[in-house]
Structure 1
Amino acid sequence: MRGIALNATLAAVKIAGGVIGNTYALIADGVESLVDIFSSALVWAGLRVAVRPPDDNHPYGHGKAESLAGLAVALFMLFAAGWIGWHSVHEIRTPHHAPHWGTLPLLAGIIGVKYAFSRKLVEVGREAGSTSLGIEAWHHLADALTSAAAFIGIAIAVWGGAGYESADDWAALAACLVIAINGVTLARRALDDVMDVAVPREFETQIRATAAAVPGVRGLEKCRIRKSGLQHIVDIHVEVDGRLSVHEGHRIAGAVKHALLASPHRVSDVLVHIEPAAE
């Protein structure tokens, strides 16, 4: 909700500053902030759905909603890059007056605010293990990048004088390319979560170590882990003494499941397969 309020405020400031200061780059930056409002709302809605507990229709929970929200934000980044790029080309081809120097301190403040907010979201997303929050942080950073490009372009147009009126539009066009590249990268990251890509090897090693430390576990065979929203679902094959009773094997399986659920690795569900250890 803070991101939505911040984007609404910045959008109003940017558009007003762009109209008064005669710079399309700042107006386009403000329009992107309006798009950011919708993307922030998507992330917020996705997280609210993702934390819902499993039900009859969703036995593995609703975690994928978080990844889908992240994918939607990445797509909006690509849309914003295309929209601003198209209008930047139009402004470059259309003669216009140079922007006013007063837009420079305004942009400097906007860049600082967006960068600080982006870094805060990066930390929150990393602590929560949230893909959509991480993508939203990059979205805010992309917005700061667009503002920085506009700052450079406006500065060149102001100090360059006649013949440099479209410098801010060229700067906005260059920023669009960077935003588009980031959008593609972040879309792939969200798709990895949707497609249940393998977790990092280091994380799997930690899960295996937690299971292997349970008394009665002789070894581990397969270990499959998939990320679902902010949590992980584990499917693990545990080797025990083949001469144990079914009851004792079941007890060890329960202990492994409890150990993983109680671990700090954000595990929401565990399926343990018991295998006889090799003699």
Structure 2
Amino acid sequence: MAAHQSRGHMGHHHNHDTTLLTSSDKHDAAVRITRIGLYVNLGMAIGKGVGGYVFHSQALSADAVHSLTDLVSDFMTLATVAWALKPPTDRFPFGFGKVESLGSLGVSSLLLAGGVLMGWSSVIELCHLYAPAAADLLSTLGLAGHGHSHVHAIPNIQAAWLAGASVLVKEWLYWATLKVARERKSSVLESNAVHHRVDSLTGIAALVSIAVSNVYPTFSGMDAVGGMLISWLVIRAGWGNTRKALVELADAGIDPEVKGKVDRAVKAALESRALPGELRGVQGVKAGQSLYIDVELALPGAVTVAETRETEEVVREGVANRVRGARRVRVRFVSAEERGAGFAEEFISPSVSARSTPEPEEHHHDGHDHGNGELKKRR
């Protein structure tokens, strides 16, 4: 089953349909434009990183980290998808979806740290330019390396060519991806197109900061300011992805949009087979790309076990066909004549304790008491 992953990025969702990255159909337009985007991110991460170092541009270096955020996320998806979609085992009865959540947490944490370090580097550069005393203090505290900046105040104008080229390439990717998205009516590709547009805007920010620093040397710190701005975008994205991974690992419930899809899928499945059943509730959790969904159905008391089994299979198939990422669907049946507490009934009450019905004493066969008498006294 194809799976779908959504990752928060700078205020929007960067969505990837895994099949677009792993498909062997190189002639498919959607697969081709997605692969091109991946290769472009790789080239830009390397090119901007080298260019930022050679041309001494904080803004270009920060933009390289920004390109790296998406590149690493793409490779993380490719690296974990096969493992995360393995079938459940006796030891892991709910499958391996959390593997992807763990991988996402590790990668996003690293990117968050990278954005913080890049932003801090820009702050240090501004201190060297406009607050030498503060720079010396930070150096004394070991927070700013050596007491002199190793980055020129004004970046080499050649860095502007790299920034400008990235803007043009990303704009082309935006329109090319959007064209395929509209032809296919694909929300995944449309989201990727928007992401390319955002990358283009960060490239413009780097280009402007580099140009201003060279045209108006008085604003020599403009490049560092641009680096701080882009670093903030990376930090925001890194924190959003880190928070999302933590929420998934904590088994937060599925969002209302997914619940609505499940609701419609269940009702459509029951209507298609003219089966009885009132949908009472939907809940679930997300593990990586997989969704584990619980459905509560109310049935008439006269329904047989065989009929409930048929209803369960119809509901499971209906949800699987209509809800992307549904990996497991569990159906809970209740009587139509009763109104219970829903899924909360499945939890054991805190008032119930194993101490009220202790297990029989275990006796050892080595002829020694091993403190059982003392244990009885404590009980």
TM-score (norm 2): 0.60
Query: Which residue of 1 is the match for residue 312 of structure 2?
Result: 253
Query: Which residue of 1 is the match for residue 233 of structure 2?
Result: 178
Alpha-carbon deviations, 1:188-211, whole Å to 9, x = none? 223232223222324323322332
Secondary structure of the 1:235 match is strand
2:265 and 2:323 in contact (8 A); partners too: no
Q: Comparing 167-176 with 51-60, which one deviates more in the overlay?
A: 51-60
Q: Percent identity?
A: 26
Query: Which residue of 2 is the match for residue 50 of structure 1?
Result: 84
Alpha-carbon deviations, 1:40-72, whole Å to 9, x = none? 433321223222222232222222222333333
CA distance, structure 2, for counterparts of residue 176 and residue 248 of structure 1: 59
CA distance, structure 1, for counterparts of residue 331 and residue 259 of structure 2: 15
Alpha-carbon deviations, 1:151-192, whole Å to 9, x = none? 22111111113x322210121112222332232223222323
Secondary structure of the 1:199 match is coil
Alpha-carbon deviations, 1:201-246, whole Å to 9, x = none? 2432332233234133231223222223323222112111202222
- What displacement does 1:38 show? 4.6
Count of paired positions = 270
With over 3 angstroms needed to count, the CA separation of the structure-2 counterparts of 1:126 and 1:233, relative to structure 1, is farther
Query: Which residue of 2 is the match for residue 221 of structure 1?
Result: 280
Query: Which residue of 1 is the match for residue 209 of structure 2?
Result: 153
CA distance, structure 2, for counterparts of residue 238 and residue 35 of structure 1: 43
With over 3 angstroms needed to count, the CA separation of the structure-2 counterparts of 1:160 and 1:203, relative to structure 1, is same
CA distance, structure 1, for counterparts of residue 235 and residue 172 of structure 2: 22
Out of 238, 242, 250, which is 1:195 matched to? Answer: 250
CA distance, structure 2, for counterparts of residue 15 and residue 244 of structure 1: 66
The one-letter amino acid of 2:94's match is Y
CA distance, structure 1, for counterparts of residue 232 and residue 68 of structure 2: 20
With over 3 angstroms needed to count, the CA separation of the structure-2 counterparts of 1:127 and 1:12, relative to structure 1, is closer
With over 3 angstroms needed to count, the CA separation of the structure-2 counterparts of 1:142 and 1:192, relative to structure 1, is farther
Query: Which residue of 2 is the match for residue 239 of structure 1?
Result: 298
Secondary structure of the 1:52 match is coil
CA distance, structure 2, for counterparts of residue 31 and residue 186 of structure 1: 15
Matches within 5 A, 1:1-279: 5-30=39-64, 38-94=72-128, 96=152, 98-114=154-170, 127=188, 146-161=202-217, 163-213=218-268, 214=270, 215-278=274-337
With over 3 angstroms needed to count, the CA separation of the structure-2 counterparts of 1:189 and 1:11, relative to structure 1, is closer
CA distance, structure 1, for counterparts of residue 299 and residue 290 of structure 2: 27
CA distance, structure 1, for counterparts of residue 199 and residue 206 of structure 2: 11
CA distance, structure 2, for counterparts of residue 245 and residue 31 of structure 1: 60
Secondary structure of the 2:219 match is coil
1:216 and 1:252 in contact (8 A); partners too: yes
With over 3 angstroms needed to count, the CA separation of the structure-2 counterparts of 1:245 and 1:168, relative to structure 1, is same
1:151 and 1:168 in contact (8 A); partners too: no
With over 3 angstroms needed to count, the CA separation of the structure-2 counterparts of 1:74 and 1:18, relative to structure 1, is closer
Q: Comparing 187-196 with 20-29, which one deviates more in the overlay?
A: 20-29
CA distance, structure 2, for counterparts of residue 270 and residue 226 of structure 1: 11
Alpha-carbon deviations, 1:81-102, whole Å to 9, x = none? 1111121123223463522333
- What displacement does 1:117 show? 5.9
- What displacement does 1:16 show? 4.1
1:232 and 1:267 in contact (8 A); partners too: yes
Gap runs ≥5 in structure 1: none
TM-score (norm 1): 0.78
1:107 and 1:147 in contact (8 A); partners too: yes
| Higher helix residue share | 1
Gap runs ≥5 in structure 2: 1-20, 22-34, 130-151, 339-379
2:66 and 2:231 in contact (8 A); partners too: no
Alpha-carbon deviations, 1:9-40, whole Å to 9, x = none? 32442244335534343345446656765554
